[in-house]
Structures are given as C-alpha cells and as structure tokens.
Amino acid sequence: MMEWETVIGLEIHAQLATKTKIFSGASTAYGAEPNSQACAIDLGLPGVLPVLNREVARMAAMFGLAIDAEIAHRSVFARKNYFYPDLPKGYQISQYELPIVRKGQLRIDLEDGSSKTVGVTRAHLEEDAGKSLHEDFHGLSGIDLNRAGTPLLEIVSEPDLRSAKEAVAYMKKLHQLVVYLGICDGNMQEGSFRCDANVSVRPKGEPKFGTRAEIKNLNSFRFVERAIEFEIERQIDLIEAGGRVVQETRLYDPDRGETRSMRGKEEANDYRYFPDPDLLPLVLDDEFIAAARASLPELPEVKKRRFVEHYGLSAYDAAVLTTSRALGDYYEAVVAALGGEPKLCANWVMGDLSAFLNKEGQDIAESPVSAAQLAGLLRRIQDRTISGKIAKDVFEALWAGEGDADAIIAQRGLKQITDTSAIEQVIDDVIAANPAQLAQYRAGKDKLFGFFVGQVMKLSKGKANPQQVNDLLAEKLKG
Amino acid sequence: MSLGPAEVAKIAHLARLAILDEDAPAYARNLSAILELVDQMNAVDTTGVAPMAHPLDMAQRLRPDEVSESNQRAHFQAIAPQTEAGLYLVPKVIE
C-alpha cells in the first residue's frame, strides 16, 4: 500500500466591507431589491469609466501589512475575459501580473498544539460578478446585478497545506484576521467570505506536485473540510485503480457530500488577460501605506499574548477570549468596570454568557447583558452579597431584561445570609427536625453531612453563605 | 509566429465573433502580421526598462467611499429585451 501526501492551496475571496462598489458609487448593502443597486458602470453600459474606491486600496493595504507582506507601490488592473450573463462587460476587472499585496505569511495553530507558517503568495483586488437565478423563469435565467462590482480581495495561499484540517485552520485564521481588521464582515451565508480549494495528491517523498483539481462553491468551514476529504479519497482511489487525475474545476455538492466535474468549462479557461486601458496604475505612496499601518487594530496574536501577560489568563482562556475583537473588547470592559478579578470575569464571559449566546445563536455584539451589567453582578459575588450559585439565577434575570443585578437581588430577596446567628438559627431548626439522621451521623455515617447542608440551603432558599454553613454545621453536628 | 485557420476559429469563438470560413485566411494573414510586429518588438533589448501598463504617465485617481448612485432600475430596464420581478431575463445558462 502506497503512502500518499496531500497538497492543498486555497484561494479565498473576502468581500471588502465598503459602502460602495469597487469602481462605482452604487451601494453594496446586502439584500436590496434585485438590480436596484446596479448603476451604469456596474451594467457595463457604453461610455462609462471605472474609478477606484480609495477605501478598497486602504483595506487591501491593511491586510497586506497584517500578514507581513510587501504592499506594491504600483499595481495594475487587468481584464480577465470570459462570457457569462452575470458579467455584463464580458470581462472581470482583476489584477494579474502586478497585484497590490505581494508575498506574506500567516501562522496557524493545529489541533495537536503545534503551529505552522503558511505562505500567502499574493492578494489582489477584483470585482465580483452578479447572481444568476436558474429557477423557473419560463426556461430563462434571471440576472441580478446588485453584486456586480462589489470589491473582493482574493487571497492566494502557497500549496503549503497538507490536510483538510490544516486547510480549515488556515481558513479560520484568515477569517478571524479580516474580521478583526474590519475589512470584511465575514458573513459566510451571504457569501462575504468564500473559498476555492486546489487539491492534489502525490506519493510521499515525491518532490513534484500531482495534477490538481480545483473545487469551487465552498462557503462554510465544514464544507471545506468535507469536500477536501472527499476529493483526496477520490484522487487516491482513481490513481490506485490505474487512472489519472485530470486538471479540472469541480463543484462541491453539500447534499451528496461529493465533488463533481463542471463539464465543458475547461475549454473556456483562456482568459486572455491584458492591462485594463480604462484604469491607470494604482500608485500608493509611503504616506498612504503609513496611514494604513496606523489604522491597524491590535491583531489577534498580540491581543492573546497581552491577555496572558496582563491579566494572568491561561493560553487557552486568552485564545477563546480573543476569538473575535468584539469578545475581547467585551471582556476588557467587564474587567475595567469591576476593577479587577480578571479570572472571575473570564469564567463568566466564557461560561454562562457564552452558553446563553450560543443557545440563542447570538453574537457578543447582540448580548442583552452589557459588560457593565455583568460587572455589576460579579461585584456582588466579589463582596459576598450573593453566592456563585445564586448569581446564575440573577444572570438569567439579567438576560431576561429584569434590570440590573442589584435591583434583581433586592426585588427577589436573594441577598446572601452572612449573619452567623441567623445561619445558626436555621441549622438548629434543621437539626431539631431530623433527629434520626443526627443520630446516624454521630454514629459515624459521615456521608449525611451533605444531607444537612442540603437541608440548610433549602430552608434558607439558597441564600445562606455556603462556606459559613459548612463551618457552623460541622461545629454543631459534633454536638 | 503565424496563425492558421484553426487558431483564427478559436480566437473568434473566444471573442464570440461569427466569421465566414472564406474570410479566415485573410484574418489569419492580418493577425499574423500583427504578431510579427510583436516579434520585432520582442527582439529589442529591454533589460532595465519597466513594463508600461498604460500610455499615460499618470496614477489612478481615487474616489471617496460614498454612495453617489440612486436606483435607476426602471430606466435601465426599459431597454432590456425581457425582465421579470426586477431581474434581467437571459437564455438559460446552466453549469
């Protein structure tokens, strides 16, 4: 049995989060009426000229700086020629020989705890095409050109990835990065972040690459993993059965979990690129690039390291809390409002808050409990007004919008009982009510200690301070 | 470099141009003449000369990211052969 090595390179299209198109002043807002945001330039009407959106250049530069790439002082737009109804001009404006972002790199973390540096060959600017709807229009196709001209940054990786898992780790890392940078909303359902995968296999140790297939239509992390795994197996089976992999474009079908050939598309793969005479070279001076650098936010890796060093969090906690910029900001706002206790804050943000958000399918930005409100709750745990257990109930009420922690605690009478004589009174009542258990306990049945604690907590409606209950009960039960 | 009728047919297809078979030899001659000119230019030593992407020695002007276009769908669709539900209708192209 031969051992095979997989070689994967990804091309990721990130839709840039601008207000307007790359070459026109039409809006890019998602979900508008069909063709209501397709202007004369997007439609490719005669006599129009494209004018580049400054924000597009700035965002591409930010991305390049974040992956330690060289930003081209001079890049050139080219026409990629092909015919399809959702491409009104008969060509897509893209960048070919001289892209805006040159070679960079991205470090990815793998499941076994190791990390790997993946090369980014280049990233270039281009315009998106429109959408074809093949549903029933009396045998015709419907074309919506609202998406035509939306700015895309195509990020091309080196063939450095060796498994579906590595490909997903790389894609997730890039996703996190572009969202952090605020240059892409990352919404994969809406197609703001999508991926084509080039997959090939070769016998282990063979220096030459095998023939690759390009898989299109990958718009979720799960699909990327499944499609690549299917494709690896298909290619190995094919070669082992004496066949040969053909270089072709394949489409992933999520319903069947398989890739299949896009028949007949290969002959059209002659794009005849040439510099677009409608557009002058894009020249970015040092000042422009310096301004882009100045607008970079704290990047995920740096934030993670700071959370470990500054807050004393574990590497795991720091990684979770820096998954998104919004989550990290929320966490820091809680710590700031509480004035300390970073570990307690981390536990609550990663624990109860995240659990509720997940359950409701909400993002941290949509959390009904503000950072200040959560800090208000944690303050009452800190000063022992309530126990951690009662705090969970208060949190539920906070989530339900019943007001701030203090109001909920007062209104529901949840204030913890820390008055020793009051707790002793409850303990006395419990002991008096359970003479049989008391006798058994004193006869050596230690397990019954838990029973007494339970009874005391029940009688105090959970409000007795647990530590004091333990101490006082032990004392009293001794007799 | 010189082109034959088969290459002319392929180029015409890529550009979606309908040409008559009897015109193909003439196109082949003319296109070949253009390529010969390119060959002559290729023969010049251009070491150290940066490739030119545009005849104008100017840089691309940049535009602020502000919406300047309004919805003119009805206007544009007035010249479309067929529309429905706001969509342009075209002969079906299925992948």
Any domain includes B13: yes
3-state secondary structure chain A: CCCEEEEEEEEEEEECCCCECCCCCCECCCCCCCCCCCCHHHHCCCCCCCCEEHHHHHHHHHHHHHCCCCECCEECEEEEECCCCCCCCCEEEEECCCCCECCEEEEEECCCCCEEEEEEEEEEEEECCCEEEEEEECCEEEEECCCCCCEEEEEEECCCECCHHHHHHHHHHHHHHHHHHCCCCCCCCCCCEEEEEEEEEEECCCCCCCCCEEEEEECCHHHHHHHHHHHHHHHHHHHHCCCCCCCEEEEEECCCCEEEECCCCHHHCCCCCEECCCCCCEECCHHHHHHHHHCCCCCHHHHHHHHHHHHCCCHHHHHHHCCCHHHHHHHHHHHHHHCCCHHHHHHHHHHHHHHHHHHHCCCHHHCCCCHHHHHHHHHHHHCCCCCHHHHHHHHHHHHCCCCCHHHHHHHHCCCCECCHHHHHHHHHHHHHHCHHHHHHHHCCCCCHHHHHHHHHHHHCCCCECHHHHHHHHHHHHHC
- Tell me if A177 sits within 8 A of A194, measured CB to CB: no
- Furthest-apart CA atoms within chain B: distance in Å: 58
Q: What is the pLDDT of residue A37?
A: 98
Q: Using a CB-CB distance cutoff of 8 angstroms, which residues of chain A are in contact with residue B53?
A: 76, 98, 275, 281
For the segment A348-367, what is each residue's pLDDT rounded down to a tens digit?
Answer: 999 999 999 999 988 898 99
B84 CB within 8 Å of a chain A CB: yes
Residue B83 inside a domain? The answer is: no
pLDDT at A116: 96
Rg (CA), chain A: 30
d(CA A423, CA A456) in angstroms, rounded, equals 8
Digit-coded pLDDT (tens) for A239-259: 999 999 999 899 999 889 899
pLDDT digits (tens, 9 = 90+) for B55-78: 888 999 999 999 999 999 999 999
B24: in domain: yes
Q: How far is CA A245 from CA A3, A163, A195, A231, A239, in A?
A: 17, 18, 21, 11, 7
pLDDT for res A321: 96
pLDDT band at A264 (very low <50, low <70, confident <90, very high): low
The minimal CB distance from B93 to the residues A84, A270, A272 is found for A84
Q: What is the pLDDT of residues A182-236, one digit of tens each?
A: 999 999 999 999 999 999 999 999 999 999 999 997 989 999 999 999 999 999 9
Res A474: pLDDT: 87
What six digits make up the tokens of A461? Answer: 């409606």
Kindly identify which residue of chain A lies nearest to residue B91, measuring between CA atoms: A140
Is B38 domain-assigned?
Answer: yes
**Mean per-residue pLDDT, A367-388:** 90
Q: Does this model's pTM top 0.90? A: no
ipTM: 0.90
pLDDT score of B95 more than 60: no
Chain A residues touching residue B67 (CB < 8 angstroms): 19-20, 25-27
| Chain B CB within 8 Å of residue A54 CB | yes
Question: Considering only A176-180, A277-281, A411-415, B66-70, which range has the smallest mean pLDDT?
Answer: A411-415
Q: What band does A288 get if pLDDT is binned at 50, 70 and 90? A: very high
Q: Is residue B77 part of a domain?
A: no
Angle at which helices A54-66 and A286-294 cross, to 10°: 70
- Per-residue pLDDT tens for A127-167? 999 999 887 788 899 999 999 999 999 999 999 999 999 99
> How many domains is chain B partitioned into structurally?
1
- Cross-chain Cβ contact A140/B66 below 8 Å: no
Backbone angles phi, psi at B86, to 5 degrees: 80, -5
Structure tokens that stand for A314 in this block: 């574990």
* Residues constituting chain B: 95
B58 belongs to a structural domain: no
pLDDT value, residue A96: 95
pLDDT at position A422 is: 85
Q: How far does the CA of residue A313 sit from the closest CA of chain B (Å)?
A: 40
Token pair for A317 = 């906690």
Say if CB A417 and CB A423 are below 8 A apart.
yes
**What number is the average pLDDT over the span A101-125?**
94
Q: Would an 8 Å CB–CB cutoff place B60 in contact with chain A?
A: yes
Collapsed DSSP state (helix, strand, coil) of residue B11? helix
pLDDT digit string (tens) for B23-32? 999 999 999 9
Torsion-angle region of residue A161: left (phi > 0), alpha (psi -120 to 50) or beta? beta
Interface probe, candidates A23, A35, A86, A284, chain B, greatest B C-beta count within 10 A: A35
CA atoms within 13 A on the CB side of A284: 26
3-state SS class at B95: coil
Task: Give the mean pLDDT of A273-298.
Answer: 96
pLDDT for the residue A268: 53
Quick check: A1 pLDDT over 90?
no
Q: Is residue B17 part of a domain?
A: yes
pLDDT at A228: 96
Kindly list the residues from chain A whose CB atom is less than 8 angstroms away from the CB atom of residue B63. Answer: 25, 51-54
| Domain region containing B24 | 5-42
Q: Do A142 and B59 touch (CB under 8 A)?
A: no
DSSP 8-state class, residue B14: H
What is d(CA B57, CA A156) in angstroms, rounded to the nearest whole number? 30
Q: Considering chain B, what percentage of its residues have pLDDT values greater than 90?
A: 71
User: Which of B56, B60, B79 is the mutation pick for testing A, counting most A CBs within 10 A?
Assistant: B60
The per-residue pLDDT for A349 is 96
* pLDDT at residue A413, rounded to an integer: 78
| Shortest distance, CA A284 to any CA of chain B (angstroms) | 9
Any domain includes B28: yes
**Token digits of residue A333:** 């706002």
